[in-house]
Structure 1
Amino acid sequence: MQQKILEQAEQVFAQMGFDGASVNIIAERAGVSKQNLLYYYPNKLALYKRVLDDVMGAWLQSLDALAHTGLPPAEALDAYIDAKVDFSLKRPYGSRVYALEIIGGARNYGKEIKARLVPMLHQNIATLENWMRAGLTDRVSAEHLIFAIWAATQAYADFAAQMQLVLGKKSLTAADQKAARETLKTLVKRTLKLAED
């Protein structure tokens, strides 16, 4: 029951934002009573934070693909981009909930982002800077390269509707997804002057 509540809450928060969502709507979509939902999550904020905890946990796994792989730069970046695109394609609602929280100034989940995301970001930046110092990649701003990768990969969740409108499709095909991955990998590798496959 809790998993069903979390899945429906993720969708409702993605579609309506924190302020627009209600416990009643989430309970109805999950097929449970409001009282049952409140047994597990005492209020809307607690449920919202639980959804974001789950999203953040999944997202941090994708970020880990860069910091702890021990792979050469080109392979590590490929794995990182694949993991970030996978997250956006598999958890589009989760990505949107996170994006809406950030757009709103991180007013409900800012402390958790600082505690959980920022240390991983610093590890990723350190990995890139170590490669640059060792002469394995060209020198660029590691922070802004990470931000660019995040923006590009998260667009496949947060702006999927725009892409579908532009492409005239109901959803991105496997060929579109492959093209997205390969294009992003090429852009990043060329930026860092890494050999391409």
Structure 2
Amino acid sequence: MPNSSEEVVINKPRRRSRIREGHENTILRAAEHLFSLNGYNGTALETIAEKAGMSKQNLIYYFSSKEVLYQQVLKNILDMWVEKMALLDQLGENPKEMLRNYIRGKVELSRSNPDASKVFAIEIINGAPYLKEYLKSHLTPALDADVKLVRKWIAEGVMDDVDPYHLFFMIWSSTQTYADFSSQISISLGKEKLQNQDFDNATEFLTHLVIKGLGMK
């Protein structure tokens, strides 16, 4: 049985690891929010450090440069989307239920993670200079697997013969608009900000539009 001094030696690294993880998460949240407002070039490390409640030198201890921090923010965003939004992994007894859950999940990401969507959009609009290779290695294989599934449904006569890639492009753009252009939508609806009911309405409308348009019974 280890003595008390041995226990202290074992526990200290774990405690430091939890503290480090907490600081990193705080920095990443602050960076994501500021990158969503100002983009990469318009955001300074000093501003991120201030938002995170620490000095610039302390921030650099965890992330050695703004580029390293930005790349980690982008990686976390894409990992979240790939992990949660694969059509192949959606629950449902039939293709229509799986597609419905896919759309619902995409709208939910726009509701709960608007900053992430905006950071991603800014990066893509600028030609994905920091994300291009990661998109090729992570997003493309997941998309190809989903496209293969849709083609299987088409072959089985479950849905109309459409281009699966453009189906996903349409779903991505229509769901992410509720994050990327939330200000425009809320102004058009005469609201200060979008409410949960607005996202529910968007989910129902988009689901109806897609299911009906694909000729799914």
TM-score of the superposed pair, with normalisation by structure 2: 0.87
Pair 1:52-2:74 in alignment: yes
Which residue of structure 2 aligns with residue 35 of structure 1? Answer: 57
State the one-letter code of the partner of 1:15: L
The size of the alignment, in residue pairs, is: 194
Does the aligned pair in 1 maintain the 2:91–2:97 contact within 8 Å? no
1:194 aligns with 2:216: yes
Question: 1:70-110, CA deviations, whole angstroms, 9 ceiling, x for partnerless residues?
Answer: 73111000110011111111110000000000000001111
Equivalent of 2:45 in 12, 16, 23: 23
* Per-residue CA distance 1:123-174 (angstroms, 9 max, x = gap): 1111111100111111111100100000000001100010011111112122
Query: RMSD of the TM alignment (CA)?
Result: 1.0
2:171 to 141, 144, 149: 149
Once the two structures are TM-superposed, the CA of residue 61 in structure 1 deviates from its matched residue by 2.3
Does the Cα contact within 8 Å between 2:103 and 2:175 map onto a contact in 1? yes
Question: Secondary structure at 1:172's aligned position in 2?
Answer: coil
Q: Offset of 1:175 from its aligned partner?
A: 2.1
2:54 equivalent to 1:61: no
The one-letter code of the counterpart of 2:195 is T
TM-score scaled by length of structure 1: 0.95
What are the residue-to-residue correspondences of 1:1-197 with 2, within 5 Å? 1-64=23-86, 66-69=87-90, 71=92, 72-195=94-217
The question of whether the paired residues in 1 share the 8 Å contact of 2:33 and 2:115 is answered with yes
Is there any run of 5+ residues in structure 1 with no aligned partner, and where?
A: none
AA in 2 matched with 1:181 = T
Percent identity, please.
38
Letter in 1 for 2:89: H
Greater C-alpha Rg? 2
Q: Is residue 63–residue 120 contact of structure 1 (8 Å, CA) maintained in 2?
A: no
SS at match of 1:20: coil
Partners of 1:4 and 1:30 within 8 A in 2: yes
SS in 2 for 1:102: helix
TM-aligned CA deviation for residue 45 of structure 1: 0.6
